Amino acid sequence: MNVKSKSNEELLEIYLDHLLARNKSQRTIKTFRSIIKQFIAYLKGRHISEATVWDIDGFLAWLRKRGYKEGSIYTAAVAVKRFMQYLGLEENLKGFEYPKRPADLPRYLEIEEVAALVKAAGNNLRDRLIVLLLYTTGMRVSELVGVKVGDVDLERHSIRIKGKGAKEREVFFHPSLREDIEKLMDSKPKSAYLFQGRNGKKMHYVTVERILKRLARKAGIKRKVSPHILRHSFATHSLMMGMDIREIQELLGHASLKTTQVYAHVSRRRLLKDYLKVWSTTLKEIE
């Protein structure tokens, strides 16, 4: 491809088609589109083939001045670099270094907070199952909305899902959820989505996010509740309750154990919190 013969906007659309063809999530594509459009605007009419490491650094500094957090700046660096690499502009990237990635531990909900979400869902079968399946399977929201009736095995209490890179894996649900799942399936054909949006189409991930925000408000939970936090809660609680970290890795669909090991840090932090709680009370009685 002759990069210089096409406009920045045309190159962006070609790259987004590439991401779509590689089965990248809607969220990733939306995020990359927004970031790269901002970078193109930052170049002020110059062609992307003229962009240098100085331009990328200047763009990241511009984002920082506008109040972007560390995680968002890191994501922006990834998006711009991968875009330029796809266009074959490696020479322009010489000397580029990623900004420091934040080492924040995953946030998770307490079991009582998950229970409050389920209670807030009341008799709404769909909303109740959205909470319970995200929490008890560790699925990503993109995986949840992609589940079809034919992917559910009621006898094995399992669901076949497609994760990142179209890799298939199997997750499990507790037998107590079987009856509710059967009701949601409700004689739908195997090709139908389990969670449907308008006209029987796949429910949009944004709809799931809105449902969780509404349930959190109703439950009186002040902090942010999202599908990914429920995924973190699944991993954290599984580890705390004695599951092997490699089993958790498989259920989460992590390619590397290193990604899963962050939950060990969360578990140790919780262990310290519980230790201090118990021993603070005990020492008060001794003193």
Within 10 angstroms of residue 142's Cβ, the number of other Cβ atoms is 21
CA distances from 165 to 75, 268, 276 (A): 19, 31, 43
E strand or H helix at 152: strand 152-153
Compute and round to an integer the Cα radius of gyration of the chain.
22
First to last CA, the chain: 77
Bridge partners (DSSP) of residue 196 are 202
- CB proximity list for 157: less than 8 A, separation 6 or greater: 172, 173, 174, 175, 178
Here the tokens at position 215 are: 């349930």
Q: Which residues are catalytic?
A: 140, 164, 228, 231, 254, 263
One-letter identity of residue 192: A
Query: Rounded to the nearest 10 degrees, how much is the dihedral formed by the CA atoms of 145, 147, 149, 153?
Result: -140
